[in-house]
Structure 1
Amino acid sequence: MARHDRARRLPVPPRHGYRIVSDDTPLLVQRDGAVVRLVLNRPHRRNAMSEALVARMDEALAELRTDTTARVVVISGAGGHFCAGLDLTEVGAPKSAEEKLAEQQARNRRTGARFQAISDLKQVVIAAVEGSAYAGGLGFVCAADIVLASGTARFSAPEVRRGLVPAQILPWLTRRMGRSAAARLCLQGNVIDAEEAARIGLVHATAPDAEGLARLLDLTIADVLEGAPGALAETKGLIAALGAVLPPGYGEAGAEAFARQAAGPEAAEGIASFKERRKAVWSRG
């Protein structure tokens, strides 16, 4: 990792009950030997992805691409939640139709590239999930190599209920759990618990609570570190060579579809209903 980042790195946080409410440090990066922990740190927003958070995530991923000493990357969230997805307060900001279309297309394109960057890391990536893992947060889950969850974990792809589309997470969901289960999750838009997530293949292993998750994470890291670094990286490369997650042209088509919906009236109503804690007009009939 970069020298300037080491200087400001905080001590490794407690494994549960961790809460720092500050958008000044939306992503915490801790180094413990060969293990790098990326902690999404907007607990007051259930770690929803702001522009500042994902920009820092992209920086961290770029650093990890050239880090030859890191062997494991753990992605988790502060304050008892993993990630509630895109920060809809930023999506709903008033802009002209043209500005909104261009902005959302660029945003969604970067989202897809971010998931690919996580998957492409030579390090073994582990997602440790407590609480909400929704929408784009679900993309982080599915781009990871190994997913562990506590009993509090909840998973959802609620985009259609907000007038949006799960454009960039859909291929990753399909890779992880198969087309049928991914279709149901995205079209129904409901919330599933850790037990159901494990049953359909979204999660690899579960623990009853935060302490159990911490122990499970420690055991998993220890197992991974038994593997030779070069052999692990080569194995990840062979897994990737079995087939691309995104068909040719899908990323751009997904960004265009997301932008059209995000700039349209359904998204305006869906986001408004979410903020106002009411049902959208299309669900009242």
Structure 2
Amino acid sequence: MGERMSETETPVQITREGPVVRLTLNRPQRRNAMNNAMGAALDAALDALEADHDSRVVVLSGAGGHFCAGLDLGEVASGGTEAERLAAQQARNHRTGQRFLRLSRLPQVVVAAVQGSAHAGGLGWVCSADIAIATADARFCAPEVRRGLVPAQILPWLTRRMGRSAATRMVLRGDVIDATEAGRLGLVHQVVDDAAGLDAAVGTVLADLRQGAPMALAETKALIAALGPLSPDGYAEAGAQAFAKCAAGPEAREGIAAFQQKRPPAWAG
């Protein structure tokens, strides 16, 4: 059994099982959508993992049968002046992109164990992990344009994992794809039947990784990163600016309201 590192209920549960650290996104009532509190908890977890010389693997998953539904849109729609919203959204989007980058650069091997929804920012976690395994009921979607937003920080990760053509189709169409299609496109590396199969598949990966020398695994990850940058210089900032511009504008107000009210947005008519 895993030893819980914190007994306090937090947006991210952290447990250790020998050299394996499990990060569980823990807002099940919101399908583990990312809010400011979850972001702060993830930043703290990444700080600890970057300095952790004992752990070798990180398993990232979600509580309650879902992985991550992306950004909590209630926070996107929060008040303030237009200038304040613009600055807040730019900062939030930039921080989100940095978290994906930091996860990918961890010395530990990162395994994403995906059930249920992996939408929007949730795709960033899937694709910045080294290995992704999904259950058959997992569903993947980049719906930002349907909300009046842009997939700013996830786009480079989707492109790296799936290729530009498949990523382009996914972010422009904004539809939901199932686990079989996600496997075919290379969005995930393996699809299993159910939660029990996911546990077994993760266990097999962990057994394989234990055969690798810790320093050799970390150095191999560093070499993969050295093959080339994720995106051109300046992209992260340009993406944050584009996200902020859309998030603070009228399309996002309508798109988020339509999503919350379960109706089509005005432009869909």
Task: State how far apart, in whole Å, the 1-side matches of 2:16 and 2:7 are.
Answer: 8
Amino acid at match of 1:104: Q
Aligned residues: 266
Q: Which residue of 2 aligns with 1:222?
A: 207
Residue deviations 1:11-30, cap 9 Å, x none? Answer: xxxxxxxxxxxxx5111000
Q: Which residue of 2 aligns with 1:181?
A: 166
Q: Which residue of 2 aligns with 1:36?
A: 21
In the TM superposition, what is the alpha-carbon distance from 1:9 to its structure 2 partner? 4.5
Q: Which residue of 2 aligns with 1:20?
A: none
Task: State how far apart, in whole Å, the 2-side matches of 1:62 and 1:80 are.
Answer: 27
- Of the three residues 225, 231, 244, the one matched with 1:259 is 244
- Of the three residues 100, 110, 115, the one matched with 1:130 is 115
> TM-score normalized by structure 2?
0.97
Residue 68 of structure 1 pairs with residue 53 of structure 2? yes
Q: Which residue of 1 aligns with 2:233?
A: 248
Residue 79 of structure 1 pairs with residue 64 of structure 2? yes
Q: 5+ unaligned residues in a row in structure 1: which ranges?
A: 11-23
Task: State how far apart, in whole Å, the 2-side matches of 1:257 and 1:98 are.
Answer: 14
Question: Given that residues 9 and 29 in structure 1 are in contact (C-alpha distance below 8 angstroms), is that contact kept between their aligned partners in structure 2?
Answer: no
Task: State how far apart, in whole Å, the 2-side matches of 1:82 and 1:72 are.
Answer: 18
Q: Which residue of 1 aligns with 2:76?
A: 91
Residue deviations 1:216-268, cap 9 Å, x none? Answer: 01001111111000100010011001111021000000000000000000000
Q: Which residue of 1 aligns with 2:128?
A: 143
Task: State how far apart, in whole Å, the 1-side matches of 2:82 and 2:224 are.
Answer: 41
Amino acid at match of 1:32: E
Give runs of ≥4 in structure 1 deviating > 2 Å. Answer: none
- Of the three residues 1, 8, 12, the one matched with 1:27 is 12
SS at match of 2:152: coil
> TM-score normalized by structure 1?
0.92
Q: Which residue of 2 aligns with 1:113?
A: 98
Q: 5+ unaligned residues in a row in structure 2: which ranges?
A: none
Q: Which residue of 2 aligns with 1:280?
A: 265
Residue 209 of structure 1 pairs with residue 194 of structure 2? yes
SS at match of 1:259: helix
CA RMSD of aligned residues (A): 1.0
Residue 58 of structure 1 pairs with residue 43 of structure 2? yes
Identity %: 62
Task: State how far apart, in whole Å, the 2-side matches of 1:58 and 1:191 are.
Answer: 29
